[in-house]
Amino acid sequence: MQSHIEKTMDSAAVTDRQLEQINRYTRRALQKEEVFVFSLILCDNQIDRDGERFPRASLEVLAKLFLGKTGIFDHSPVSLNQSARIFDTQVEELPGQVEGEPCCQLRAWAYMVRTDKNKDLILEIDAGIKKEVSVGCAVAKITCSICGADWKKEPCSHQKGVRYGDKVCHHRLEEPTDAYEWSFVAVPAQKNAGVTKQACRPMDLEKLWQSRETISLTPQELRELESRYKALEEKAKAGEQYISRLRGEVVKLLAITRPEISPALAGEIAERLEPSQLDELQKSLSRAAAGKFPPAPQLCPMSCAEDGERENPFVI
């Protein structure tokens, strides 16, 4: 399995189309010179060291699932200036065949917003210092290549790596359901680039939670878990901020549209509502407030003054 940053491009090579794709994920439209774009190989359809492979159909689904996913560098906490986001993906065909289909790999294009803090990191990527990419995803089916049994439902007796007749058994990772945050891991210089496997091994959290025994995780799995946890934490924080703003907005709008409701009661109402209810109430109150205070018409002092019909704009 080859998962790595493959080649880099300088900002001059950022195309208009790429910038347009990038700006779908940004809060404000970025300029070419503000972004750094590079491409990376996320996974391929070869049988990996665990005796598993993604058929091409899975890569096609993963291509969509990885869009918009962020990656972090070398374990650093998720933060804007140390993360990259995938904005484009493509399944590329390579020479050769594997299990009756053309060899192919999933390439992704990611961008980083250039800042003072990530200058060195960008230089490093630009210089071609190879970093491995560790990615994780979940699949709905893990099927046996010999009999087609779905190991998620009912395992068969075939063993991965064992020959049955003229075929060696492997497992096909099918129907991906989710792709997770990815991370970069620096490869020590003396190591043969791209040899260490950082595969798209699905980590079945459900199974993990249900496990009653002591479990051990590989460093790679631990990293994946950590990266997922941190990403969730970030999302939770952002969610809380949003809800708190929404509550404030609802209290304010209640004061405008329903002055008879005391601020204390308004606060309590906002506090008790679910986020979706808050959202609905905020929208409806906004409409009510807009009806109560329609936008003031554009005044034309000259003509109105001539007609002698100028009204006091402060009288509603």
Interacting stretch for Zn ion, rule CB under 5 A, among 59-67, 141-149, 188-196, 211-219?
Answer: 141-149
Report the interhelical angle of 263-272 vs 219-257 (nearest 10°): 150
Pick from 37, 78, 125, 146 the residue near Zn ion by CB under 5 A. 146
Closest CA to 180 of 235, 244, 115: 235
Closest approach, Cβ 166 to Zn ion, in A, equals: 15
Binding to Zn ion by residue 158, rule CB under 5 A?
yes
Considering the complex, state which of residue 69 and residue 170 has its C-beta at the smaller distance from Zn ion: 170
Interacting stretch for Zn ion, rule CB under 5 A, among 20-28, 31-39, 154-162, 183-191?
Answer: 154-162
Considering the complex, state which of residue 108 and residue 146 has its C-beta at the smaller distance from Zn ion: 146
Instruction: Return d(Cα 59, Cα 43) in angstroms, integer.
Output: 8
CB 217 within 8 A of CB 201: no
Considering the complex, state which of residue 13 and residue 147 has its C-beta at the smaller distance from Zn ion: 147
Interacting stretch for Zn ion, rule CB under 5 A, among 37-45, 101-109, 158-166, 283-291?
Answer: 158-166
Report the interhelical angle of 275-292 vs 219-257 (nearest 10°): 30
CB 94 within 8 A of CB 103: yes
Interacting stretch for Zn ion, rule CB under 5 A, among 6-14, 155-163, 246-254, 304-312?
Answer: 155-163
For residue 80, which phi and psi values (nearest 5 degrees)?
-55, -45
Pick from 144, 185, 266, 281 the residue near Zn ion by CB under 5 A. 144
Interacting stretch for Zn ion, rule CB under 5 A, among 14-22, 143-151, 217-225, 284-292?
Answer: 143-151
Closest approach, Cβ 155 to Zn ion, in A, equals: 8
In Å, how far from its chain's centre is CA 26? 13
Considering the complex, state which of residue 155 and residue 239 has its C-beta at the smaller distance from Zn ion: 155
Instruction: Return d(Cα 157, Cα 147) in angstroms, integer.
Output: 10
Instruction: Return d(Cα 64, Cα 67) in angstroms, integer.
Output: 6
Pick from 9, 30, 103, 149 the residue near Zn ion by CB under 5 A. 149
Closest approach, Cβ 172 to Zn ion, in A, equals: 11
Burial 182-214 (b: 16+ CB within 10 A, else e): bbbbebeeeeeebebebbbbbbeeeeeeeeeee
Take residue 27 and report the two structure tokens written for it. Answer: 């809060």
Using DSSP bridges, classify how beta strands 101-113 and 83-98 pair: parallel, antiparallel or unpaired.
antiparallel
Interacting stretch for Zn ion, rule CB under 5 A, among 8-16, 147-155, 175-183, 216-224?
Answer: 147-155
Closest approach, Cβ 133 to Zn ion, in A, equals: 31
Considering the complex, state which of residue 138 and residue 156 has its C-beta at the smaller distance from Zn ion: 156
Instruction: Return d(Cα 306, Cα 302) in angstroms, integer.
Output: 6
Closest approach, Cβ 56 to Zn ion, in A, equals: 21
Q: With CB under 5 A as the rule, give the number of residues binding Zn ion.
A: 6
Binding to Zn ion by residue 67, rule CB under 5 A?
no
Binding to Zn ion by residue 147, rule CB under 5 A?
yes
Query: What is the binding site for Zn ion (CB under 5 A)?
Result: 144, 146-147, 149, 156, 158
